[in-house]
Amino acid sequence: MVANCPRCGLRFERSEGHWTGDLGLNTIVSFTVVFGVLLGGFLLTYPNVPGTELLIATIGAAIMVPIAFFPLSKTIWLAIDLQLRPLEAHELDEPNRWTIDEQ
Protein backbone atom coordinates (compact mmCIF):
# COMPACT_ATOMS: atom_id res chain seq x y z
CA MET A 1 0.00 0.00 0.00
CA VAL A 2 1.25 3.48 -0.80
CA ALA A 3 2.06 5.86 2.06
CA ASN A 4 0.12 8.85 0.72
CA CYS A 5 -3.05 9.30 -1.29
CA PRO A 6 -2.02 9.87 -4.92
CA ARG A 7 -4.81 12.41 -5.37
CA CYS A 8 -4.67 14.63 -2.28
CA GLY A 9 -1.37 13.70 -0.64
CA LEU A 10 -2.94 12.65 2.70
CA ARG A 11 -0.78 10.27 4.72
CA PHE A 12 -2.76 7.11 5.40
CA GLU A 13 -0.89 6.40 8.64
CA ARG A 14 -1.63 9.62 10.49
CA SER A 15 0.16 8.58 13.68
CA GLU A 16 2.17 5.69 15.04
CA GLY A 17 -0.10 2.73 15.70
CA HIS A 18 -2.84 4.03 13.40
CA TRP A 19 -3.16 0.57 11.84
CA THR A 20 -4.63 -0.89 15.05
CA GLY A 21 -7.95 0.87 14.44
CA ASP A 22 -8.45 -0.52 10.95
CA LEU A 23 -7.28 -3.95 12.09
CA GLY A 24 -9.84 -3.87 14.92
CA LEU A 25 -12.59 -2.76 12.55
CA ASN A 26 -11.66 -5.53 10.13
CA THR A 27 -11.71 -8.10 12.95
CA ILE A 28 -15.15 -7.00 14.17
CA VAL A 29 -16.67 -7.16 10.67
CA SER A 30 -15.00 -10.50 9.93
CA PHE A 31 -16.25 -12.12 13.13
CA THR A 32 -19.73 -10.75 12.52
CA VAL A 33 -19.85 -12.23 9.01
CA VAL A 34 -18.48 -15.60 10.19
CA PHE A 35 -21.09 -15.70 12.97
CA GLY A 36 -23.77 -14.75 10.43
CA VAL A 37 -22.71 -17.57 8.11
CA LEU A 38 -22.82 -20.07 10.96
CA LEU A 39 -26.15 -18.88 12.32
CA GLY A 40 -27.74 -18.42 8.90
CA GLY A 41 -26.56 -21.81 7.68
CA PHE A 42 -27.84 -23.46 10.82
CA LEU A 43 -31.23 -21.74 10.75
CA LEU A 44 -31.78 -22.29 7.02
CA THR A 45 -31.00 -26.00 7.15
CA TYR A 46 -32.39 -26.99 10.56
CA PRO A 47 -33.12 -29.83 11.50
CA ASN A 48 -30.80 -31.50 8.93
CA VAL A 49 -27.72 -29.29 9.32
CA PRO A 50 -24.99 -30.29 6.84
CA GLY A 51 -21.95 -30.04 9.12
CA THR A 52 -19.23 -30.41 6.47
CA GLU A 53 -20.73 -27.89 4.05
CA LEU A 54 -21.38 -25.41 6.84
CA LEU A 55 -17.79 -25.81 8.06
CA ILE A 56 -16.44 -25.21 4.54
CA ALA A 57 -18.62 -22.11 4.10
CA THR A 58 -17.52 -20.77 7.50
CA ILE A 59 -13.83 -21.36 6.81
CA GLY A 60 -14.23 -19.73 3.39
CA ALA A 61 -15.83 -16.67 4.97
CA ALA A 62 -13.15 -16.57 7.67
CA ILE A 63 -10.44 -16.47 5.00
CA MET A 64 -12.03 -14.28 2.33
CA VAL A 65 -13.80 -11.56 4.35
CA PRO A 66 -10.72 -10.18 6.16
CA ILE A 67 -8.76 -10.06 2.90
CA ALA A 68 -11.56 -8.50 0.87
CA PHE A 69 -12.59 -6.01 3.57
CA PHE A 70 -9.09 -4.84 4.54
CA PRO A 71 -8.79 -1.90 2.08
CA LEU A 72 -12.28 -0.71 2.99
CA SER A 73 -11.54 -1.02 6.72
CA LYS A 74 -8.50 1.25 6.25
CA THR A 75 -10.67 3.81 4.46
CA ILE A 76 -13.46 3.68 7.04
CA TRP A 77 -11.03 3.96 9.94
CA LEU A 78 -9.29 6.93 8.31
CA ALA A 79 -12.67 8.63 7.86
CA ILE A 80 -13.53 8.02 11.52
CA ASP A 81 -10.12 9.33 12.57
CA LEU A 82 -10.52 12.45 10.43
CA GLN A 83 -13.86 13.17 12.09
CA LEU A 84 -12.41 12.77 15.57
CA ARG A 85 -9.08 14.47 14.86
CA PRO A 86 -9.27 17.03 12.01
CA LEU A 87 -6.59 17.22 9.35
CA GLU A 88 -3.47 19.31 10.01
CA ALA A 89 -1.28 20.90 7.35
CA HIS A 90 1.79 18.77 8.13
CA GLU A 91 -0.18 15.61 7.30
CA LEU A 92 -0.41 16.43 3.60
CA ASP A 93 2.31 15.77 1.06
CA GLU A 94 1.54 19.10 -0.63
CA PRO A 95 -0.13 21.33 2.00
CA ASN A 96 -1.11 24.03 -0.51
CA ARG A 97 -3.24 21.62 -2.52
CA TRP A 98 -6.16 21.82 -0.07
CA THR A 99 -7.50 24.47 2.25
CA ILE A 100 -7.24 23.39 5.86
CA ASP A 101 -9.03 25.08 8.72
CA GLU A 102 -6.44 26.06 11.32
CA GLN A 103 -7.73 25.62 14.85
Q: Is the pTM above the cut of 0.85? A: no
Q: Of 33, 29, 12, whose CA–CA distance to 82 is shortest?
A: 12
What pLDDT score does 99 carry?
A: 52
Say which amino acid occupies 83: Q
**Cα–Cα dist 47/45, whole Å:** 6
Domain boundaries, the chain: 19-83
Find the distance separating the first CA and the last CA of the chain, reported in whole Å.
31
> Helix-strand-coil percent breakdown of the chain, rounded to 5?
65, 5, 30
Q: What is the pLDDT of residues 23-76, one digit of tens each?
A: 999 999 999 999 999 999 999 999 999 999 999 999 999 999 999 999 899 889
How far apart (Å, rounded) are the C-alpha atoms in residues 50 and 61? 17
pLDDT exceeds 50 at position 103: no
The pLDDT, as a whole number, for residue 31 is: 98
Judge whether residue 83 has pLDDT over 90.
yes
